[in-house]
Amino acid sequence: MSFTTALRPLSPDATAFASTLPTTDTTPQQLATLSLSAPTAQTSAAIQEQHRCAAAIVNEDLIMQTIRAKVLPNPFFISRDKASEICRLTGINTEELLTRLIPIAKEFARPLIFKYQVGVAGLGKSGNIYLGVNLEFLGTQLPYTVHGEQFLIVNARNHDETELTAIAISAAPCGYCRQFLNEIGKSATFKILIQPVSNLQTLLPHSFGPQDLGITGGLLTPDQVKEESDGSIDTEAKLAASRSYAPYTNCPSGVAIKCKGGTIYSGSYLENAAFNPTLSPIQTAVVALVCANRRYDEINEVLLAQKPDATVCHISMTNEILRSIAPNAVAKPGLVAL
């Protein structure tokens, strides 16, 4: 999907910022001038159209350069203030910004099997923007894939977002992702910026979700865990488990990944009413690691925490994904009392 942006006069701030952007054959000032130039009344209709098309292309190029300069090298979380600044500099609105973030998100996808890159951008009620990408793990089962929309929800949840108002996707969400998004619950009323603009109720009629099983919350319902961490991998894994969304099995679990340098990234178990779109804690922990722009070969140690008597066990999937992305890491699946 794409939005057509009318050519707008660049603000003084935008013109000044353009002078800092790297260019190739054309300077930012020339780009700005060309994007605003208007053909004279004597110019033929064909020349006018050529000028208009050229100005539109240059204007879009300048917009994308501005966005990239503001969100890279790590675009996964864009604060409300930064999003507002980008919109002010470029003259686009927030939904137009979401669609322009899709190709940037796709650059960070890690689809090691099929090589098909997915990019997703979501706007939270907070005004913050979250990106999502797809992850595939070579040599594992296809159901271990993390879809772009799943990644987005985990990313938003990790930033304590409680509601989404719009998401933009590189392609219409698959049925699997529609079911996963439905687990947000009653607050899943966000716009889906495809062509034409849609919503989950339209894309997933007669849905089955948490409300059908008597669950009042959802994936983005705030958790009540406020415990402090001592920074150890054991504690981080336990805290991740306590932040699980596991209303159907009551089997919370968490994974903590310790990288070179000592930084720890954790992930919580997230269930779905339909079971299959459920995300294991190793998948959500990898999402946190990717959001930090860390490489898989930086993983040193991994700990899984789950109940000793859990009816759902994540040891097998944890080991299989680790063999794929970090075969030299020390895996310590622990049956920890939670």
- 81-98 pLDDT, tens per residue? 999 999 999 999 999 999
Residues 161-198: pLDDT tens digits? 999 999 999 889 999 999 999 999 877 899 999 999 99
Task: Provide the pLDDT for residue 223.
Answer: 77
Task: Provide the pLDDT for residue 170.
Answer: 87
Domain boundary among 185, 213, 241: 213
Same domain? For 247 and 183 the reply is: no
**Does residue 163 have an active-site annotation?**
no
Same domain? For 175 and 238 the reply is: no
**Residue 89 and residue 222: Cα distance in Å, rounded?**
34
Residues 222-245: pLDDT tens digits? 876 667 788 899 999 999 999 999
Same domain? For 256 and 206 the reply is: no
Residues 6+ apart with CB under 8 A from 214: none
Same domain? For 254 and 153 the reply is: no
Same domain? For 176 and 113 the reply is: yes
Q: Is residue 258, in this structure, part of any structural domain at all?
A: yes
Residues 72-85: pLDDT tens digits? 999 999 999 999 99
Catalytic residue among 136, 149, 183, 271: 149
Task: Provide the number of structural domains found in the chain.
Answer: 2
Q: Is residue 158, in this structure, part of any structural domain at all?
A: yes
Domain boundary among 213, 245, 280: 213
Query: What is the pLDDT confidence band of residue 28, given thresholds at 50, 70 and 90?
Result: very low
Task: Provide the pLDDT for residue 29.
Answer: 47
Same domain? For 162 and 200 the reply is: yes
Q: Is residue 124, in this structure, part of any structural domain at all?
A: yes
Q: Is residue 189, in this structure, part of any structural domain at all?
A: yes
Same domain? For 89 and 208 the reply is: yes
Query: What is the pLDDT confidence band of residue 316, given thresholds at 50, 70 and 90?
Result: very high
Q: Is residue 57, in this structure, part of any structural domain at all?
A: no
Task: Provide the pLDDT for residue 89.
Answer: 95
State the CATH number of the domain containing residue 112. 3.40.140.10
Mean pLDDT of the chain: 87
Q: Is residue 12, in this structure, part of any structural domain at all?
A: no
Same domain? For 295 and 265 the reply is: yes
Same domain? For 138 and 91 the reply is: yes
User: What is the pLDDT averaged over residues 272-291?
Assistant: 97
Same domain? For 198 and 86 the reply is: yes
Q: Is residue 20, in this structure, part of any structural domain at all?
A: no
Same domain? For 85 and 184 the reply is: yes
Domain boundary among 213, 247, 269: 213
Same domain? For 291 and 205 the reply is: no
Task: Name residue, tokens 């800092």.
Answer: 20
Asked whether the predicted pLDDT for residue 39 surpasses 60, the reply is no
Q: Is residue 45, in this structure, part of any structural domain at all?
A: no
Task: Provide the pLDDT for residue 8.
Answer: 52
Domain interval for residue 285: 233-335
